[in-house]
A and B are shown apart, each in its own frame.
Chain A
Amino acid sequence: MAQPLSKAESSYTAAGLLNSQRPDGRSLLDYRPITLATGVAPTANGSARARIGDTDVVVAVKLDMQRMDEEDEEEGRCVCSVECSPSAFPHLDRDALSDLSTDLTDHLRTYLTPLLTSPQLLIIPHARRWQLAVDALVLAHSGNLHDTLFAAARSALWDLRLPRTRGVVYDAPGTGVGGDGSGTGSVERAGVLDHMRGMGRQAVDFELEDGADEGLPLEGRDDLPVCLTMNLLSPVYYLDATSVEEACSPTRLLLFVRPSGTLCGIQKLGSAELHPSELKQALQEGVKHAKEMAGTMNRRLREPTTRSLGSNLGPFS
């Protein structure tokens, strides 16, 4: 993924890491500064931009109304895509870039979107539901892309607002509802009854109660997992690797951990072998760090200032 690294540089960096020395002076478990901004794309229903060091990812979530067939499962469905900008990976050619995009899309599809099956996404049973489209754009890359991507995706889902809907039923003229005789208004004569009076009937259509920016937040948004990449360079491990450091770790372990500490996914990258006992230790440590990170992220997202950061994160300099 990273630029090809010379043997000398790689062994120099690895020797430093084994000695708990990193080129930028961090300790092995330190992260670079993390910046989160939500609401960066006004045309999307939820959006966020995350930056870890110089790695920069924008994620936007759009809602789309989807018609369901009778046999479709009830929960909403998700589509996702990750696009890697050539300006983030100037040394990669087109094919390599699209391979990388596909890889990252698979990660999102495997570890994040299956968790987004809230009954909230259902508008009318058996008929209509919201489809979530989670789209990511990698603008700049300097290592630790997975963590940044998931932090951005999670914050975008945090920012998402689902508009409230009201079901509309169709009532043939003359049949009335409950025979209360109240429905003499023009609305009823047209055959359209309010959801409240047509209770118990199957709604055929819906109206939006909310404007574009209003609505309810996604249920369970504070329980979505974060991604934590453990770079294993036996016997040490380090977090938040830069591109150079990534290139000299033989095994990388992606952990997807909920703030409660539950592990919902593990992915091993790299060709080196891993002993089960090493894995066990790495898991224990990793889950601890990820839990801490998720807790901090939730706290920061709850602060109202995150939203007002808006699209201007300030220049790099």
Chain B
Amino acid sequence: MSRFEPLNAGNLRSDGRRPLELRSFSAQLTTHPSADGSASVSHGLTQVTACVYGPREAKNRGQTMHDRALVNVEVSVAPWAGEMRRQRARGDKRTLEFAASIKATFEPVIQTTLYPRSEIHIHIHVLQLDGGLLQASINATTLALIDAGIPMLDYVSSLSAGLYLTTAMLDLTSIEESDLPSVTVAVLPRSGKVTLVSMETRLHVDRFEEMFKLAMEGGKVLRGEMDRIVRERTAALARQMEGGGGTKEEDKMDTDDL
């Protein structure tokens, strides 16, 4: 087999995208019947569902804090998600670390001080895995938190960036992720603040800034898309509350657009 070529002579990537092109992004709100808030997000073939419970009384009273809410994150990966079937045990180190980084991303953004002595539980399901797991999980969690009506400072939007020779590229697939140095950035687009930078590969420091800035820019674009989806959903709900005729049809059209 020939060597994997991340970027061909025509400046196209292995899946036919331009370096700065994102995969198709789609999201749905309220996908789970019993959670307080839930969202399902897909970036290309990566599909993640997040469910939010709370703010509620903590299951484990000992962990509660008297001045703010506790944020709990749990991640489970479906055995069929990746290329090979793989069953992960519950206490899998890698999954725990992943959950911890999502928790750290959202703790400063959720206004936890409004809910003292309570718990906000976030459960993330990975249904499909094709690179960009962290970005998809963060975006899904943002939408699920919004769906649950939990006050946050801003959207958190996240995107991964990679580098091939001197060309930076956005939104990597799993083949690209295994071959290229990559960084995942989560930003608060309005203030431009960054809540997460995660890099597990080596990269020359001179190249870092370019990738970082591109990922931030991309995050702002994603924020616009997420905002559109939230507004559409809210408008549909508002129409249903007013109980106008023909709401069903309009609602159907909305979901088709997604």
- A residues bordering B, Cβ < 8 Å? 41-44, 47, 54, 56, 58, 60, 62, 64, 81, 83, 85-88, 90, 93-94, 98, 133, 135, 137, 139-140, 142, 311-312, 314-317
Contact = CB atoms under 8 A, between A and B. Distances in A.
Contact of A135 (B53, B85, B125): B85
Contact of A83 (B35, B76, B129): B76
Contacts of B81: 43
B128 A41 contact: yes
A43 B47 CA distance: 11
Contact of B80 (A62, A88, A94, A312): A62
B30 A315 contact: yes
Contact of B83 (A43, A58, A88): A43
Interface in B1-42: 26, 28-35, 38, 42
B230 to A, nearest CB: 13
Given A83-B78, A135-B80, A137-B78, 15 more contacts: A42-B128, A43-B83, A58-B78, A64-B85, A81-B87, A87-B38, A133-B80, A137-B125, A140-B32, A311-B47, A312-B258, A315-B29, A316-B31, A316-B33, A317-B237
B76 A43 contact: no
B34 A142 contact: yes
B180 interface: no
B130 interface: yes
A311 to B, nearest CB: 7
Nearest to A140: B33
B139 interface: no
B211 interface: no
A44 B30 contact: no
Contacts of A62: 79-80, 85
B33 A142 contact: yes
Contacts of A94: 90
Contacts of B216: none
Contacts of B59: 93
Interface of B: 26, 28-35, 38, 42, 45, 47, 49, 51, 53, 59, 74, 76, 78-83, 85, 87, 90, 123, 125, 127-130, 237, 240, 255, 258
A122 B16 CA distance: 37
Contacts of A133: 79-80, 85
A316 B32 contact: yes
Contacts of A64: 85
Given A87-B51, A311-B47, A135 B30 contact: no
A314 B85 CA distance: 28
Contact of B130 (A43, A139, A311, A316): A43
Nearest to A315: B30
B49 A139 contact: yes
A137 B79 CA distance: 9
Nearest to B28: A315
Nearest to A133: B85
Contacts of A317: 30, 237, 240
19 contacts: A41-B80, A42-B45, A43-B45, A43-B130, A62-B80, A83-B78, A85-B76, A86-B123, A87-B32, A87-B35, A90-B34, A93-B59, A94-B90, A98-B90, A139-B32, A140-B32, A311-B47, A314-B255, A317-B30
Chain B CB count within 10 A is highest, among A42, A311, A312, A315, for A315
B28 A312 contact: yes
Contacts of B47: 311
Nearest to A135: B79
Nearest to B90: A94
A41 B34 CA distance: 23
Contacts of B76: 83, 85
A139 B33 CA distance: 10
A85 B123 contact: yes
Contacts of B28: 312, 315
B192 to A, nearest CB: 32
A86 B33 CA distance: 13
Nearest to A80: B79
Chain A CB count within 10 A is highest, among B32, B47, B80, for B80
Chain B CB count within 10 A is highest, among A42, A56, A83, A94, for A83
Nearest to B125: A85
Contact of B127 (A41, A54, A316): A41
Contacts of B42: 311
A309 to B, nearest CB: 13
A315 B255 contact: yes
Top 9 A-B residue pairs of the complex, sorted by shortest distance between their CB atoms: A60-B80, A54-B33, A87-B51, A135-B79, A44-B80, A87-B123, A62-B85, A133-B85, A316-B33
A87 B80 CA distance: 19
Given A58-B127, A139-B125, A312-B258, A83 B79 contact: yes
A312 B82 CA distance: 20
Contacts of A142: 33-34
Contacts of A316: 30-33
A31 B47 CA distance: 30
Nearest to B50: A87
Contacts of B255: 312, 314-315
B29 to A, nearest CB: 7
B45 A87 contact: no
